[in-house]
Structure 1
Amino acid sequence: MAPRQQRRATLSYLSDVLPTALPPIFDQAQGTTANHRKNIVQLRKIQDKCAGVTEETPKGIKLVGERAFNALFIDMVNRVLPVKKGVAVADRIVKFVASYVAYTTEQDSASEDEDDGTSSRFVSKLLRHLLSGMEAKDKNVRFRVTLMTVSLINGLGEIDLLARARDKESAVRIQAALGLAKLQSGEDEDDLEEGQESLAEVLLDLLRYDPAGEVRRAALYNLPRTPATLAVILARTRDVDPILRRTVYQGSLSAAGLPDARVLTIAQREEVVRNGLGDRDPSVRKAAAAMLGGWLDQAEGNLVEFLTRFDVVSSEVAEDALLSIFVTRSEVFEHVEFGDEWWNELTPEKAFLARVFSEHCIANKDEVRLEETMPVVTALAFKIQDEYNNLVTLTVEGNEDVQDQVFIVGELLRLAITLDYADEIGRRKMFQLSREMIAQPNLPESLIPRCLDVLSKISNGERDLIRLIVDVVTELREGDGEIELSEAPTPSRSTYGGPSSPSRRESRVDPNDPEAVMRAALIDLRCLLICISLLERVNTPLQDNSVFHGLLPDLIIPAVRNKDEPALRDQGLVCLGLCCMIDEKMASNSFGLFIQQLTAADDELKVKVVQVIFDLLMIHDIDSLIVKTMPADRVVELVRHMLVQDAPEVQAAACEGVAKLMLAGMIQDETVLQSLVLLYFSPETADNQPLRQCLTYFLPVYCYSSPLNQRRMLDIFGDTFAMLSQLREEFEDATDLLPLSQMGLMMVDWLDPHKAVERDGAVPDHAIHLDLAIELVKGLLTESSREVRKTLVGFLGKLNLPESFETDAWKTKAAFQLIGAVKQKRPLPDTMSRNALSRFEASLVKRYPELEGYDEEVFRGEGAEHEETQELFGFIDDVEDMVESPEKPGRRSSRAPASRRGSSVAPSERSDASEGEATPVRRRAPPRPETVEEETEEEEEEESDVDGMLGTDDE
């Protein structure tokens, strides 16, 4: 009787309480959205009570409570459907219903009772009712039904798809992304609770962070192009997936996806062009070129209008974009014309277009097209003169368009280099114009190299060019403007360190007149810039150009000594370095000065000094270069000192210089190579991207280019890996330091003989990975850290072992004997490592027939005749002593035999240099030049030192 009493009480709830419980809730919900959450929770409690009311029938259990609740709920909804659009109370009820459906569905989804289908049946009943009203005659009913249906679908879809967007299966995440894309159009940001992610933000997260390329592509396909999403889409031009990168250019940035490129900022346009045209994948480059073609169509085929999409004055990619158009749109290139009206009012875009067009014709050897379109030399010279006069006028007036005018003149000068100077009249006019421009004290610095290029093009050799520039420099410094070439300084009048230098300098400037001193310094700085531009364009030794010798004591050496004007001193050192590039004797005398600047100069100047030092080492014979400065065996110490400079930019410049020397085979020291490897992995260089990028290219290229280089990398493998393991311990929490296993695998990959390049008759060293295996197994015997041993044994499975005919049988036996020693004396602690070692041992036996029937006693007996065998068993026998007194965990035992630090084949042949310290953290002072006196505070002694470094005998 008890159940019947409970059932009747519940049935009475449906008839007495329920009809009066729902209307107040809907009445409150239509007034304000502030109470929706409270009423949703209350309505859910009512639904749960109703769901518990059931009735047993012969056909089964009847859900009378659910039916009563659903019917009353639908009755409440029906009261809203005829209300016309725009009534706020009806809109709040629609929002309330959608929120309740989402809430009740979410509650059932979180419930552990998977069989509970109360909410599913409720939602199904409600949707069927709403769908039946889609064809209603009343337009208000159709509107409300459609609005409520969309709201319900959005709410339901969001709940399920948000969870699926983070599913572990990529295929599920793809479908979730497609579903979210369809739902986001109906999402109202005003409905979002505080801190709740919108669907667009979920798609953006998938596009940015999802590890699967196909998921990122699905998000990209369905992401709308808005200012908020555009930046994320542009970032995908550097995605690791080439298909996604291509899709960005073919879809999001195409003419259809982006009707006007000007919605992007100039910086964004240049970034996408740079990334697209510079992509390593040909299909991406093709898509980027097609995008640029679309931009040209948006400009109606006008190349000048197309160039306005870029900042041609400072752009680095505008030229690549224009050349891409010339290649992909050949008809545009064929129709380019430069009539007389073109040159009347030049703009930066017009001058840029003419110059790039001319260089493109020369690159494609299309002289006919160049002659048809370009003006004659005389006409161009007069145009350059007019534009330069306009520049002078704008400078005097202080106009803001000065930079544009400087750019126009510079582009015209670059255009002048491409023309034919068979016309003598035009050649003389251009020569005279360039000569007069470079002699102007107020000529912008950026135009000095341009004038030098023109003069270099039309001069009768480097000797005449040097005489001309000496004449110009003399005019600027003397200020009379009447000096002829014959009056230029010669060795007979002013030689290195000659007595005429101080007197001439004193005659130019009154030291008591600060303004005169400043004017003289500015003129000297201008003259140094001209000399630097000259020296960058000549290769003739200074001994063959005696007219230039007078500038050394009069201009360059005083600038190097100058302590009052740092800019003058910096340019003087650069100029001196360029002189040393073409004069070996001067380079030998001046090398010590540049070494001193490694400690005396500021960081910006140190970069130039380091570049000068490495350029001199590359160009001149190293022994002859340093003979007056230091012993030959201290060059390596000098190089390593430059590698550990504190300034990142100096360190990067030194790294680039060392890489060039090592690739050229001019430095072969293993400690330098070890320093580069440690620099590459050190967390201290994580933010030094130029250094990391240089080493990312250098290390694999260096190893793959020569078997001897791979052998050097093998020789430092053991010690370097030990240092890396210590580095890993010291920077245990560093996020910029790679895992030890990853660093080791990179070194193993650099030693892969299959990746070595066969060139110049060099045959890859196929046995190098077998030698590495011997090195790794020795490490298992000497290493005390479990983690390091586990890492070492993991490398064995990554080795490419040679065939039996490609290696010495001694090496295979040595590796097999060492594996047996590990199992006997230093067994590995974990099962995974033991299995890895056993698999490697089995692969040795399978590959090398000589290991079948291997007898240790016979192999040991060979030691009487082979020194290598004696060293091997001596190493194995010493392992017992190391086990009895182990070192601290994680540290390599200091009692390891000498063969552990060298090659496993011939340890005695290794250089002791590899045992030196190579950690990039330590700092060392530069080697002291033997021929240079110790610096003092007295200026006279310093100047005499500089004279000793720079001075050479007259020839």
Structure 2
Amino acid sequence: MASIERIADIFVDAQDASINHKSLTKRLRRVEAQNENNRSRFEEQVKACAIRCLEVTKSEKAGQNTIKFLCSYCAATQNQEHESEEEDGTNITNQIMVVLLPYMSVKDKVIRYRATQIVSQLMGIVQEIEDELYQAIRHELGKRVRDKVPAIRLEAVCALGRLLENEMDEEAQAAEKERDEDEEMLDEDEEPESTGLLDKLLNVLQNDTNAEVRRALLLNLPIEPKTLPYLLERARDKDAGDFRHLSLSMREKLLRWGLRDRDERVRKAAVKMFATMWIEQIARTLQQTDADQEETLPKLKKGEYYKADTVALVELLERIDILNAGQDDGVGLEAMKEFWSLRPDYFRVVSFEDSFWTDLSAESAFMARSFYDYCSKNPNAQRQAEDDQKFPEVTRFGFHLQRELNRALELRGSVEEEVEEETLAEQDFIAEQLLHIAHTLDYTDEIGRRKMHGLLRQMLSVPDLPDEITRLAIETLRLTCTSDVAGEKEFIFVVQEAIAEVHDSLNDNEDEEQDNGTNREQSPADDESFVSAHSELSTRSDATARRKPSKLDKKLAKMTPEEQEDYQLRTLLVQLKCLNIAHTMLQNITSDFSTNVSLETMLNTLIIPAIQSREAPLRERAIECLGLACLLSPSLAHDNHEMFVYCMKKGHEELRMQCLKILCDCAVTHNKDGGLDLKPFVEAFGYSAEVQLCATTCIAKLMMCGFYKPALKTAEGGEEQEQEGEGDEAVEVFENAIEEATQCGTRGCELLAKVKAALVADAQGKGQVEGDRRQS
């Protein structure tokens, strides 16, 4: 009996999201196997759960998820029956349809719709069905094609389309058998007699007032001599197209191409398409479900919209796959920015009560994130949102954020059940959206600031926290600290504490002596002092050959090969995690390394040993961190210039481009007074096309940042004279680099020529103005 009671709990879990249905189906199948001797009781419980779905309105996503799960379970039983040649699967599916048949004719349109929907979907699953039940279902579906609710008619014609295919096959077999027995052949121009079901569906295709119903029949009717004229007639249907007919990739492309087009008229049309046409089609469908008849819907005047409904907005975001479109390179934020601007009715109706935060989906979380992002960039919108109390209290929001972060970690640490990647991705996405929202909050409330500060500090020390969530958490942590020097020191101290705790997670299972002996990154150069990264890279092989076995070597010697591989992988992941935290921290500070001892310590104990590591991912990430550190310290940039040049020459393609960008950024930041060295960029012309393009782009950037100063020409005495200055040598260096790129046919050389021409024209224009003034 206890296992029987678990059936309802399984259906409750199924209504939350469809991505867990596979594991829930397995659970329900296990319960079914455990109650083989009490099968009738099990089937009654399943049918009771199916009946409970009938009261759920179409707009409720939970109802759709539960029906999907029910069909998934029935499909699994069908497959089991087919493999084992048993009849249990057919029985339970048939019994559910028998129970639902009376509900297809009730007065309540919601129950009528759900019953028709479930039967329609089960008809696509069932492999065998009793003739009496088949005729009863066919009769009820035939009545539903004349239902006053379009959504019910749509489900009915989809189910009848499946039955039509079976009946036409049976008719063809019967005709063939009759021809064999009687040896009678039809004339070439004579058509076989059609079934009554086909005539009924053709009549619906001609006369139904709903475009969705007509389109469903176009997709389900077979192309035959009798149906072809009707199908061609519908091909000239003037009903406006619904964007939901497009594939998911086409919707995303249409939106992305439109919003990012160079023509302003195209961008405006794309905004109108998204914020009016698409959302209104969904809103109309939702209100049409609530109306008794399609004709009872209000007839809108030009410029009027259907009643704003956040359910419609959430569905719109789901229709464009916001889980992918909402990423940094996606089009989701661009679209929603225009949406909130163009649709103030939705801006007013959206609400963020506690119930909203406790039941988040990827779409609702992104909706909230886009709303607060829009408010943060529009003072008027922010004032209106604050007046309507739409901004959450920071302390309360901290608890919501903590709950979602804990859910993400629980899913990653779950060992009892197999967690699908989609579930992890959705939960991570929700946590990311809440952290984006945290960027827009006001931390003048000290209690809320402390709550967020402590939460983020605690989460940063968790090694399993995904990298993107870690990055957003560090950026939010910086906002919870004051913007002055003291606040930055506090921020650096907290982040470095988190790095130490993440690294110490490697030694959780070791004794105190081992823990003390491995409290910093293990690398081949642990026992040697750091002179420069370049010198260490050039002598690493000799030093490695001479050094004595370390404690790490002794520990690995005691392990099996599998344990060694597992430990080394875990070590690599933890070290990468530490570098990722350090990388994000360096992006959010302005302190010079020479004035902050803790930063210098992190450089010597974390970044430099990782550069000296044998592991390529560690070296590459550490070089990025060192590049950020060099931007903060002129002396550090000068000391490591040769190291970046060395890595550019000896590294692979990605590392070469990374080092070129670092050299360029360091030059822009620290070499304002001259002394620019373009040799590494010119040498890069001899590598791959991607590296060449990176080098020419960096040179163009340096030229536009003021390093290339062509001599001004002034008009004195009616003749143009060239002004000589101190920049002649720098100009010559750039001229030689441009000439070298042109001669070698380097990718991107056209860019250098265009930048040079623009800068020369600009300089000449300024010089001509000065000359005219002096002449006058």
Please say if 1:650 is aligned against 2:691: yes
Q: Give the drift of 1:521.
A: 2.8
CA distance in 1 between counterparts of 2:528 and 2:436 reads: 36
Amino acid at match of 2:443: Y
Q: Deviations over 1:611-652 (max 9, x none)?
A: 11111121111778x7xxxxx6xx233321123422x33222
Partner of 1:399: 419
CA distance in 1 between counterparts of 2:528 and 2:763 reads: 47
Partner of 2:761: 707
Amino acid at match of 2:737: V
Question: Which of the pair has more CA radius of gyration?
Answer: 1
Amino acid at match of 1:581: L
Q: Give the drift of 1:496.
A: 7.5
How many aligned residue pairs are there? 448
Q: Deviations over 1:355-410 (max 9, x none)?
A: 11001011111333343112111111111111111112211234120011001001
Q: Give the drift of 1:672.
A: 2.3
CA distance in 2 between counterparts of 1:550 and 1:418 reads: 33
Partner of 2:29: none
| Aligned with 2:280 (options 294, 297, 312) | 297
CA distance in 2 between counterparts of 1:765 and 1:268 reads: 56
Please say if 1:497 is aligned against 2:497: no
**Distance verdict in 2 for CA 1:225–1:508, change over 3 Å:** farther
Q: Give the drift of 1:656.
A: 1.7
CA contact (8 A) 2:401 2:431 kept: yes
Partner of 2:322: 312
3-state SS of paired residue (1:657): helix
Write out aligned runs for 1:621-660 (5 A).
621=671, 635-646=677-688, 648-660=689-701
CA distance in 2 between counterparts of 1:699 and 1:90 reads: 75
Partner of 1:273: 255
CA distance in 2 between counterparts of 1:422 and 1:553 reads: 36
Q: Deviations over 1:205-248 (max 9, x none)?
A: xxxxxxxxxxxxxxxxxxx999xxxxxxxxxxxxxxxxxxxxxx
Write out aligned runs for 1:838-853 (5 A).
none
Write out aligned runs for 1:272-671 (5 A).
272-292=254-274, 293-300=276-283, 301=308, 302-315=312-325, 316-365=330-379, 366-371=381-386, 372-397=389-414, 398-400=418-420, 401-460=423-482, 461-479=487-505, 497=530, 510=555, 512=557, 514=564, 515-563=566-614, 565-621=615-671, 635-646=677-688, 648-667=689-708, 668=731, 669-671=734-736
3-state SS of paired residue (1:373): coil
CA contact (8 A) 1:707 1:763 kept: no
**Distance verdict in 2 for CA 1:507–1:418, change over 3 Å:** farther
CA distance in 2 between counterparts of 1:421 and 1:606 reads: 42
Amino acid at match of 1:435: R
Q: Give the drift of 1:265.
A: 2.4
Partner of 2:299: none
3-state SS of paired residue (2:352): coil
Amino acid at match of 1:534: M
Q: For structure 2, which runs of at least 5 residues remain unmatched after alignment?
A: 1-185, 192-222, 226-232, 284-307, 513-518, 521-526, 537-542, 709-730
**Distance verdict in 2 for CA 1:496–1:434, change over 3 Å:** farther
Q: Deviations over 1:600-620 (max 9, x none)?
A: 111122221121111112111
**Distance verdict in 2 for CA 1:516–1:337, change over 3 Å:** same
TM-score (norm 1): 0.43
Q: Give the drift of 1:511.
A: 5.4
CA contact (8 A) 1:391 1:405 kept: yes
Q: Deviations over 1:388-434 (max 9, x none)?
A: 11112211234120011001001101101101112111111111111
CA distance in 2 between counterparts of 1:540 and 1:258 reads: 60
Partner of 1:117: none
Amino acid at match of 1:333: F
CA distance in 2 between counterparts of 1:225 and 1:666 reads: 67
CA contact (8 A) 2:653 2:691 kept: yes
CA contact (8 A) 2:661 2:698 kept: yes
CA contact (8 A) 2:681 2:696 kept: no
Identity of aligned residues (%): 28
**Distance verdict in 2 for CA 1:429–1:336, change over 3 Å:** same
**Distance verdict in 2 for CA 1:344–1:90, change over 3 Å:** closer
CA distance in 1 between counterparts of 2:268 and 2:365 reads: 27
Q: Deviations over 1:848-900 (max 9, x none)?
A: xxxxxxxxxxxxxxxxxxxxxxxxxxxxxxxxxxxxxxxxxxxxxxxxxxxxx
CA distance in 1 between counterparts of 2:740 and 2:474 reads: 41
3-state SS of paired residue (2:589): coil
**Distance verdict in 2 for CA 1:566–1:256, change over 3 Å:** farther
CA distance in 1 between counterparts of 2:234 and 2:633 reads: 60
Q: Deviations over 1:797-856 (max 9, x none)?
A: xxxxxxxx99x9xxxxxxxxxxxxxxxxxxxxxxxxxxxxxxxxxxxxxxxxxxxxxxxx
Partner of 2:69: none
3-state SS of paired residue (1:419): coil
Amino acid at match of 1:559: A
CA contact (8 A) 1:706 1:764 kept: no
CA contact (8 A) 2:322 2:362 kept: yes
3-state SS of paired residue (1:308): helix
Q: For structure 1, which runs of at least 5 residues remain unmatched after alignment?
A: 1-85, 92-188, 192-223, 227-251, 483-487, 627-631, 686-690, 711-757, 767-804, 809-955
CA contact (8 A) 2:660 2:681 kept: no
CA distance in 2 between counterparts of 1:522 and 1:609 reads: 23
Amino acid at match of 1:529: N
CA distance in 2 between counterparts of 1:541 and 1:257 reads: 66
**Distance verdict in 2 for CA 1:495–1:311, change over 3 Å:** farther
**Distance verdict in 2 for CA 1:280–1:661, change over 3 Å:** same
**Distance verdict in 2 for CA 1:294–1:258, change over 3 Å:** same
CA distance in 2 between counterparts of 1:273 and 1:350 reads: 20
CA distance in 2 between counterparts of 1:394 and 1:440 reads: 14
TM-score (norm 2): 0.52
Amino acid at match of 2:432: G
Amino acid at match of 2:695: A
CA distance in 2 between counterparts of 1:394 and 1:313 reads: 18
3-state SS of paired residue (2:319): coil
Q: Give the drift of 1:659.
A: 1.1
Write out aligned runs for 1:144-163 (5 A).
none
CA contact (8 A) 1:377 1:420 kept: yes
CA distance in 1 between counterparts of 2:735 and 2:640 reads: 28
Amino acid at match of 1:294: M
Amino acid at match of 1:342: F
CA distance in 2 between counterparts of 1:545 and 1:495 reads: 23
